[in-house]
Every structure is written in C-alpha cells, then in structure tokens.
Amino acid sequence: MNQFPYDAVIFDLDGTLFDAEDGIVSSVVSAMEELELPIPEDADLRLVVGPPLLDSFRNLLRIPEDRLDEAVESYKRHFAQEGMYRYQIYPHIRSILQMLREGGVHVGLATSKDRNIANRVMDYFGLSHYFDAIVGENVDHVKLGKPELIRRALPEKYRCAAMVGDRCFDVAGAKGAGIECVGVSYGCGSEEELQDAGADHIVPDTESLRALLCPGAEIPRGFFLSMEGLDGSGKTTQMELLEKKLRQLGYSVVRTREPGGCDISEDIRSIILSTDNMEMCSTTEALLYAASRAQHVHQLIRPAVEEGRVVLCDRFVDSSVAYQGGGRQLGLETIQQINAPAVADMMPDMTIYLAIDHRTAIRRRLNASTPDRLELEDLEFFERVQKAYERLIKENRKRFASVDAERDIDSIAKDVLAAVLEKIEPEAKWEE
C-alpha cells in the first residue's frame, strides 16, 4: 500500500472540487434581478464565490440589511433550480478521490454551503460515494464556521490531516482546526491570497494536487467506450452530447473515430473512402479497416485508457464485423479473426448501439419515403448490417447497451448517459 503524506484529507467544495463560478454568479444575478437590485460588475460578482453567502451579500454586494433574508432565499431557489447544474468538476478530481480511497485515506468535505444543498450537488455529480463525511452548515441553526465544519469532517484519530481549499477562509479554517492547508490556486483565490493567509502548500492545478496527495500511486485505468449504429442512427449527435456531459462530470474525455483517429489511420481512411478506388475488393477493404484500427489502438486508444482517460470511439471493431462481415458477406468470424491482432486486448469496456431499423435509417439519410431501385440494393446491404449487429448484441449482452434511437434526441441522450454512468462508476448513486 502507498504511504501517502496525509491519512485524512478534507476538501472544500466550490472552487476546489468544482468550477462553481458560473453556477454561483448566474444564481446571484437572477436573485438581484428578482429583487430589482443593481447588478454589480463582473469582477465583484466573482468574489462572491468562497466566503459564506450572507457575508458576501452584506459586505461585497452591499444588499440592504432589511432585504438580506429575501436575497438569500431567492439565491438559494435559483441555485437549486439552475445554478448547480452549471457546475463542472475539475479534471483529475475523480481520480484523486479514487486514489485516496484506495490508499485508505479518510476523505471528507467541509463546505459553508447548506448541507442539504451540498448533498444534492454531490449526489447529482456522483461524488458522494468517495466521501466518509460530508459536512455543511445547517440553515436552521447557528452558523458553525469553517474550523468547526472541518473538525466535524475529520475522523476521530488521524496521523496527519490536510484541508484542501481555494480561498483564505479555507486556510484560516484549517489553522483553526489545527491541520495543514493545501491551497489550490486554480479556484477562485489567487496564489497571493493563499500565501498571505499562510497555506502550507500551494498547487497551481489538479495534476500537481494529485502528485502532492498521492505521490507514487498508479493512476486508475480509464474506460473505453465505443458507439455503433447504422449510418443515419444519430451517432455523431449522441457522441457530442455524451462527451459534453462526461466532461462536466469531471471525466477526462478523448473523443475519436474509426476509420481514423490518428495520422496513419486517417491516411488509410482516405484510401478506403476515396472514389478513385472503386476497384477495391471487399477483402482489401476489410484488411485496411483492420490496419487502420491496429495503429489507432496502438497510438491513441491504449495510451489514453492507461492514462486514466475515457475514450469515446465513434465505431470500432463491431463496425467491421457488421459492415464487412455482414454487409459485404465476408463472414462475421473471418472479420473477427482478421481484427484479432489489431484489437489485441483492447476490446471496449462498453458498446452503445443506437438501434434504428435499416429502413428508417435509409429514409433519414435520403430524406425521402420511397427508395428507388439503387437504393433498394442499399436496403439489402443495410438489412444484413443490422442483422449482424443484432447477432453481435445477442452474443455480447454484457458489453452492449442497445438504446432505441427512433425517438427524440433528448430521450436518447438520457438513456445513453444512464447506461454509461451505471457501467463507468457502478458504486456512485447518480441522482437527477
């Protein structure tokens, strides 16, 4: 087991785990608008992130004393309805939390936020399962203050503990609780602010934070996800939406495609798809897809997964099995054999199949309802492709998630995301 420098680490929420600025500032603006109060300059608004809300409203935004309660109420409502959904987990945070847990470190959260809201944010972003203690203020009671919040998030016994935070309030809180403070200058506070407050360490980014908290630890393996479907199934749109969402949840995402994804494979792609190469036989085509895949796996997919990233690949070996094996009738097993050395041990951890009938797919592509003679030939080809996919799904139930793609974009995206999250972090409780 690794010997990490701290056996208890307490995190601040806003500006430390989450890029919270956009979510908080937009909620403040909505509250000020609702109360018809003047909206401050951007720079002033940003200072609101970090200190307890009431203090910011009173001292920074100069909201009159008799309207403070109303302003706080309005802010909280806007935050719960819209603001928190604009949060974004900083990159590498998830892997840091995972590494700390695996290293047996006590992990806590101490935030000046209301603890119900803090719990909601942590649940929505699927982080709660990493934490031994989540401590926030309780609106109905006297304010605890940061040192007491930190004390409550600590375990009974520890060898050496640290608070990780981005503002001078976190440093002061750590000192009050008698533990070290690691200041992070990527949040809302500057390096100067943290230095003046007396932080024991200051790190500029989450990679340095990981090196400080988990020295020598191996980065957890990432995740390899492929998306499949007939041409016209809406893969590109769904890949984009999934990528955006996973980034917001703090995953380090690499999006790529086949054929292609790196220089050599893109060169092979242009040979395969070029209309100059009409005489290309099906076997050559199948071998070129496999060659392009071998380079892609070697150069991009494997290194990215080993670095802990989530690789989203638009088509992978199943496309070859379905299109060349089924569509071109080279045989599913033959294609699997050709591809074995290219894929090696890098089969996707999960494959999303966007299920759409081949007739609907053709109609979508042609934007017409009755296919002509040539298109009918197409129809048979795509029917074979669809059948091959269906066989693959039947034979690989564990790896595949089939999503009905003959619906509106948002419903499909919701199902795709739910399936992916369940697989990517099964221990997390994801709440809407």
Residues that bind ligand TYD (CB under 6 A): 231, 235-236, 257-259, 289, 314-315, 319-320, 323-324
Rounded to the nearest whole angstrom, what is the least distance from the CB of residue 313 to ligand TYD in the complex?
A: 9
Collect all residues with Cβ–Cβ distance below 8 Å to 209 and sequence separation of at least 6. Answer: 92, 96, 164, 182, 184, 203
Of the two residues 131 and 323, which places its CB atom closer to ligand TYD in the complex? 323
Rounded to the nearest whole angstrom, what is the least distance from the CB of residue 365 to ligand TYD in the complex?
A: 9
Of the two residues 200 and 231, which places its CB atom closer to ligand TYD in the complex? 231
Residue located via tokens 């640290």: 162
Of the two residues 167 and 315, which places its CB atom closer to ligand TYD in the complex? 315
* Polymer length of the chain: 432
Q: Give the angle subtended at the CA of 229 by the CAs of 249 and 341, to the nearest 5°.
A: 90
Burial 119-131 (b: 16+ CB within 10 A, else e): bbbbbbbbbbebb
Of the two residues 128 and 292, which places its CB atom closer to ligand TYD in the complex? 292
Please name which of 55, 419, 57 lies closest in space to residue 242, comparing C-alpha atoms: 419
Distance CA 137, CA 140 (A): 9
Of the two residues 16 and 320, which places its CB atom closer to ligand TYD in the complex? 320
**Cα 186 versus chain centre, distance:** 19
Rounded to the nearest whole angstrom, what is the least distance from the CB of residue 286 to ligand TYD in the complex?
A: 8
Of the two residues 170 and 228, which places its CB atom closer to ligand TYD in the complex? 228
Rounded to the nearest whole angstrom, what is the least distance from the CB of residue 282 to ligand TYD in the complex?
A: 10
Residue nearest to ligand TYD (CB): 323
66 SS3 class: helix
Alpha carbon dihedral 165, 171, 176, 177, in 10-degree steps, equals 30
Q: Give the angle subtended at the CA of 247 by the CAs of 244 and 252, to the nearest 5°.
A: 135
Of the two residues 107 and 393, which places its CB atom closer to ligand TYD in the complex? 393
Distance CA 320, CA 20 (A): 43
Distance CA 256, CA 284 (A): 23
Q: Which helix (H) or strand (E) segment is 22 a member of? A: helix 21-34
**Beta-ladder partners of 224:** 311
Q: Give the angle subtended at the CA of 363 by the CAs of 360 and 368, to the nearest 5°.
A: 150
Q: What is the CA radius of gyration of the chain?
A: 26
Of the two residues 57 and 400, which places its CB atom closer to ligand TYD in the complex? 400
Rounded to the nearest whole angstrom, what is the least distance from the CB of residue 231 to ligand TYD in the complex?
A: 4
Rounded to the nearest whole angstrom, what is the least distance from the CB of residue 59 to ligand TYD in the complex?
A: 54
Rounded to the nearest whole angstrom, what is the least distance from the CB of residue 274 to ligand TYD in the complex?
A: 12
Of the two residues 175 and 315, which places its CB atom closer to ligand TYD in the complex? 315
Of the two residues 205 and 378, which places its CB atom closer to ligand TYD in the complex? 378
Please name which of 284, 341, 299, 292 lies closest in space to residue 316, comparing C-alpha atoms: 292
Cis peptide before 91 (omega within 30 of 0): no
**Cα 121 versus chain centre, distance:** 15
Of the two residues 49 and 388, which places its CB atom closer to ligand TYD in the complex? 388
Distance CA 8, CA 150 (A): 11
Rounded to the nearest whole angstrom, what is the least distance from the CB of residue 338 to ligand TYD in the complex?
A: 10
Phi/psi of residue 140, nearest 5 degrees? -80, -5
Rounded to the nearest whole angstrom, what is the least distance from the CB of residue 190 to ligand TYD in the complex?
A: 45
Rounded to the nearest whole angstrom, what is the least distance from the CB of residue 86 to ligand TYD in the complex?
A: 31
Rounded to the nearest whole angstrom, what is the least distance from the CB of residue 314 to ligand TYD in the complex?
A: 6
179 SS3 class: coil
